[in-house]
Amino acid sequence: MKLKGQSVLSISQFERADIDNIFRVADDMEPYAQRQKRTRVLEGAILGNMFFEASTRTRISFGSAFNLLGGDVRETVGLELSALAKGESLHDTARVLSGFSDIICMRHPKSGSVAEFAKSSRVPLINGGDGSNEHPSQALLDLYTIEKELKASGRKIDGLRIAMVGDLKHGRTVHSLSKLLMLYKNISVQLVSPKDLSMPKDIVEEMKSNGLSVIESEKIESSISHVDIVYSTRIQEERFTNKDEADLYRGKFRLNQAVYTAHCEPNTVIMHPMPRDSRKEANELDKDLDDNPNLAIFRQTDNGLLVRMALFAMILDVVHLVKKSSSDVPWHNHR
Amino acid sequence: MKLKGQSVLSISQFERADIDNIFRVADDMEPYAQRQKRTRVLEGAILGNMFFEASTRTRISFGSAFNLLGGDVRETVGLELSALAKGESLHDTARVLSGFSDIICMRHPKSGSVAEFAKSSRVPLINGGDGSNEHPSQALLDLYTIEKELKASGRKIDGLRIAMVGDLKHGRTVHSLSKLLMLYKNISVQLVSPKDLSMPKDIVEEMKSNGLSVIESEKIESSISHVDIVYSTRIQEERFTNKDEADLYRGKFRLNQAVYTAHCEPNTVIMHPMPRDSRKEANELDKDLDDNPNLAIFRQTDNGLLVRMALFAMILDVVHLVKKSSSDVPWHNHR
Amino acid sequence: MKLKGQSVLSISQFERADIDNIFRVADDMEPYAQRQKRTRVLEGAILGNMFFEASTRTRISFGSAFNLLGGDVRETVGLELSALAKGESLHDTARVLSGFSDIICMRHPKSGSVAEFAKSSRVPLINGGDGSNEHPSQALLDLYTIEKELKASGRKIDGLRIAMVGDLKHGRTVHSLSKLLMLYKNISVQLVSPKDLSMPKDIVEEMKSNGLSVIESEKIESSISHVDIVYSTRIQEERFTNKDEADLYRGKFRLNQAVYTAHCEPNTVIMHPMPRDSRKEANELDKDLDDNPNLAIFRQTDNGLLVRMALFAMILDVVHLVKKSSSDVPWHNHR
């Protein structure tokens, strides 16, 4: 149980066996997340859910995961940056706040800040996103979703064919997922983006040198036709240096049911890091995919709960106690 | 138990028998709210208290009601509208957040938004106020308070004489209360407001066609002289189209102890949806009524806790289990 | 147990025996705060953590202290002043919110507001800071820290030699601490500040008339050379009326390891109310003191948790029940 007492700061700290361990614990969390059972294993434990930058979804996901294990949550949201605003160092904030909880989740706009905080913290930390740097639980939930979706058709992560579509330059999630995939075998990756927003060269090179088959392209149609997963992200047109080019690409990376039907193999799974922009001008996943059973975006966020429960249980070393402290759920379960 | 697994979106979904059921469960919640007993019936359950618009009082009331039943609360407040601000649809937000809790309370500035959210939610929802549209738990606590106050003198809601005073045009609470009263017999209603702020015609007509006796007036004195309840709301002078008229009415709808003594029957009950504006220029209920035992405004908010506990217990179907999981309160009770 | 059912509004309500009681209960809370044991004595109790002004550190400290005793926390943060902003009186807010919890902690920017709130509250209140007026739990944790640090070398608060350094004019914490020290014997106090920021005359006179030895000075070196405690606060240069004087004093009240080594007795304890400004231009405690084992600033915030747990347990009268409801901590303890 390598995670016992450890902080989770970056995906680069994991080996393949670690990830497998996390995913098997996540599997075991499903009955609790689905409310078939409840557990009070962390009753009395306190999570310091320190979101120095707003993120409703991720904050609530971490908090609920801790509640599902029986623990309490103390919380801060971005707008109340009082002490840090008064010139307090991350060292001081970490020393103080780590006296108030058993484990801390932290999001912060500044890259590297969570690792700096961890150095002075007296309790383990989970990085909930530090600027453009890392968001390891998101990368884990993405890979866990891929594993689960493939399992339904008897496949494994080894041998995965995936297309990543959209803004591959700025997307923290596709960077992290790419790095995680380097731990697996026979992976082929289609990178689909406008030139201006292509995957950073160093990541592409690292993937290739780790044995991944990588093809870069600017056309979505051919790139998504022989893959298991389409991982879509938003193209932010305001990021283009060349506005003419932006016009050229407008709508070309957008996935809707018509494009899906025309080009994808049956049961190709659609993923997205969320939130999905659902305004008319949005350039990512259309609403008409909502009835497509292969749209896995809400299974992704559900899986996030399982992965975060697994991280908490492993870091606080209570995995073996979860079952012992479980009981029936007395209230009406609506799922 | 008709509410099991159901969302509470509008008062129009209730029949008289439903309301009676809710009120009898609310009665049973009193020992827990008063701390004569504690119950842990919802231990491990999670409320998603999603306030996309600020409202300290209502938010804390819902949260405390859930805590009083033993459950945990994950929360968001208006200012952190991150994902919605990035163009996420209510559909997506609902699908995601409903994976993180067993039940959701939601307030949102946009009329109709809570019902839209409910369509995509995988858990039941309570509407905590959607713009100028509905706020069903407020209407229920108002009616529950009326029932309780009348009961003290051996009367029932049937036969009620009520005056509604102030801004009857914009007041969501008086609209909802009017609709609820249509379920009862022999109700007579005095509507007291400036012409510019009178009760919408359709509601008046609906009341009349449902057999209520309705008298509209612009003078408070005669209207409050033969009623059981005076329900006061704030006159917002800034809403007048005709500023001369505003001057004409200044202070005329304000209730204070002198007016009460001069015009009301003994034990006429005073209600208000709160918050009450206590600044000098305010035009509603004076502070000198605070010593009047018939001022029921704080009993109203206390009753809100009971009604919300009842809704949670009925929706999650644990009413029959509350007593079984009850125990003594070991700490000093100050009430 | 004098605190049972009482509000804690000001340090002036305490006698020496009361403080001793609080500190002995705080001692007993250490195994729970350190996670050697957990207790559920307040399971089902609700703290209303009403911070009408932002303060992450103090808010989380109160909330965690209540969680550590097994209770739940409902909370508001400064930015959501909805009802008060609509003209609601503190009386009304207090009456309403006190129906939703068993005890309230309140911070508010306005001096005197917490005492006013307490008059209308139906449950006990702890003042979490009301403007420049009072912050009694901070004063108690400061004195508790002094007692604990001295105890390590076999001494007591009686006989204490302390230097208070920095902005003694505006510092709420040094004012409160000075008042608390008047309850003890043979106290000698060095007050070190620029003239413009000296301790208010009335407090100095009160200390002297209570038998304290008080020496005022503008030089840090000689003042800290024969003391047990250096209590440092930030000099806010922007507060000087005379900008030339500000330049004159620049850096002169700053404590770093070199100054400490040159002038302090061995094991002189360094305290600070936090947060400490760690920016270059800051004028208080240097980072190079972080390796000095006598820097007690983080032990101070840890002690704050113990003192707040003690206050909760005494007010709610469960001190005698804490041990009975204690059990082992099943999760990995990282401290």
- pLDDT computed for residue B85 by the predictor: 64
C49: number of Cβ within 10 Å? 25
d(CA B322, CA B38): 9
Rounded to the nearest integer, the mean pLDDT of chain B is 93
> Which CATH number among 3.40.50.1370, 3.10.310.10, 3.30.300.30, 3.40.50.300 corresponds to the domain B137-298?
3.40.50.1370
Q: Which of A59, A64, A279 sits opposite B46 (nearest CB)?
A: A64
Q: Are A77 and B72 within 8 A, CB to CB?
A: no
Band of residue B242 on the pLDDT scale cut at 50, 70, 90: confident
pLDDT tens by residue, A262-301: 999 999 999 999 989 888 878 889 999 999 999 999 999 9
* Best CA proximity match to C204, nearest among C14, C193, C300: C193
Q: Is B123 on the interface with A (CB under 8 A)?
A: yes
Partner-chain residue, chosen from B38, B54, B279, that has the shortest CB–CB distance to C44:
B38
| pLDDT tens-digit map of C151-200 | 988 999 999 999 999 999 988 899 999 999 999 999 999 999 999 899 99
Query: Model confidence at B77, in pLDDT bands (50, 70, 90)?
Result: confident
Residues of chain A with Cβ-Cβ distance to B48 below 8 Å are: 60
Closest to C67 (Cα-Cα) out of B138, A148, A49:
A49
| Residue among B35, B39, B79 minimizing CB distance to C102 | B35
C302, C48, C327, C271: which is closest to C146 by C-alpha?
A: C271
ipTM of this complex = 0.94
Q: What is the DSSP letter of B198?
A: P
| B9-29 residue pLDDT tens | 999 999 999 999 999 999 999
- Given a cut of 60, is residue B35 above it in pLDDT? yes
B window 262-321, beta carbon within 8 A of A? 315-318, 321
* Chains adjacent to C (≥3 CB pairs closer than 8 angstroms): A, B
The pLDDT of A218-240, averaged and rounded, is 90
Pairing of strands C103-108, B188-192: unpaired
Average pLDDT of the residues in A37-56: 94
Which has the closest alpha carbon to B233: B202, B191, B181, B265? B191
Are C11-135+302-328 and C137-298 equal in CATH topology?
Answer: yes
Q: Residues C66-88: pLDDT tens digits?
A: 999 999 999 998 755 555 667 88
Cβ atoms B328, B161 nearer than 8 A: no
A54: nearest CB among B82, B101, B321 = B82
Q: What is the pLDDT of residue C277?
A: 87
Percentage of residues of chain B with pLDDT beyond 70: 97
- At CA C44, angle to CA C43 and CA C45, rounded to 5? 95
| CB-CB neighbors (< 8 A) of C73 in chain A | 72, 74
Catalytic residue list contains A58: yes
Rounded mean pLDDT, B212-226: 95
In chain A, domain spans: 11-134+301-328, 137-298
| Percent of chain A residues past pLDDT 90, beyond the cut | 79
CA distance B11 to A335: 25
pLDDT band at A249 (very low <50, low <70, confident <90, very high): confident
Residues of B marked as catalytic: 57-58, 86, 107, 135
Phi, psi of B44 (to 5 degrees): 100, -15
DSSP codes, B75-97: EE-TT--HHHHTT--HHHHHHHH
Per CB-CB distance under 8 Å, the chain C contacts of A41 are 330-331
Predicted confidence at residue C85, as pLDDT, reads 64
Return the pLDDT at A143: 98
Task: For chain A, give the number of residues.
Answer: 335
3-state secondary structure of B155: coil
The angle subtended at Cα B259 by Cα B253 and Cα B265, nearest 5°, is: 110
CATH dotted code for C11-135+302-328: 3.40.50.1370
pTM: 0.96
Output the furthest CA–CA distance in chain A (Å, rounded). 62
The predicted pLDDT at position C144 comes to: 98
Instruction: Answer whether C86 touches B (CB < 8 Å).
Output: yes
| Res. A247: pLDDT tops 90 | no
Report the residue of chain B nearest C42, measured CA to CA. Answer: B331
pLDDT value, residue C208: 97
B245: pLDDT strictly greater than 60: yes
Chain mean position to CA A176: 9
Task: Select from B83, B317, B325 the Cβ nearest to the Cβ of A332.
Answer: B317
Burial class (CB in 10 A: 0-12, 13-18, 19+), C325: middle
pLDDT tens readout for residues A109-155: 899 999 999 999 999 999 999 988 899 999 999 999 999 999 988 99
Give residues 170 to 229 of C whose Cβ lies within 8 Å of B: none
A178 touches A189 (CB < 8 A)? yes
Cα B326 to Cα B6: distance, rounded to the nearest angstrom: 25
Helix (H) or strand (E) holding A190: strand A188-192
Residues in chain C with CB shorter than 8 Å from the CB of B297 are 92
Say how far apart CA B307 and CA B316 lie, in whole Å: 14
CA–CA separation, B215 and C183 (whole Å): 68
Chain B partners within 8 Å of A38 (Cβ): 43-44
Residue A26 has a CB neighbour count (10 Å cut-off) of 26
User: In angstroms, what separates the C-alpha of B91 from chain A's closest C-alpha?
Assistant: 9
How do residues C196-251 score in pLDDT, each as one tens digit?
899 999 999 999 999 999 999 999 999 999 999 999 998 877 777 777 777 777 77
- Catalytic annotation present for A57: yes
Q: What is the mean pLDDT of residues C303-332?
A: 96
Mean pLDDT of chain A: 93
- Are residues B74 and A63, on separate chains, in Cβ contact within 8 Å? yes
Compute the nearest-CA separation of B268 from chain A (Å).
Answer: 41
Measure the CA dihedral C223/C225/C231/C234, to 10°. Answer: 60
Q: How many CB atoms lie within 10 A of CB B242?
A: 11
The predicted structure's pLDDT at residue A85: 64
Q: Report pLDDT for B32.
A: 98
Between CA C96 and CA B55 the distance in angstroms is 13
Confidence of residue B81 (pLDDT cuts 50, 70, 90): low
Q: Pick from A266, A253, A274: which is nearest to A293 by CA?
A: A266
Residues 6+ apart with CB under 8 A from C15: C183
Using alpha carbons, list the distances in angstroms from residue A15 to A10, A59, A304, C10, C48.
12, 26, 20, 56, 45
C25 interface with B at CB cutoff 8 Å: no
CATH top class, domain B11-134+301-328: alpha beta
- Model confidence over C270-317: pLDDT tens digits? 999 998 988 887 888 999 999 999 999 999 999 999 999 999 999 999
Burial class (CB in 10 A: 0-12, 13-18, 19+), A257: middle
Q: Hey, what are C183's tokens?
A: 């309850």
| Chain A residues closer than 8 Å to C282 by CB | 87
pLDDT at C236: 76
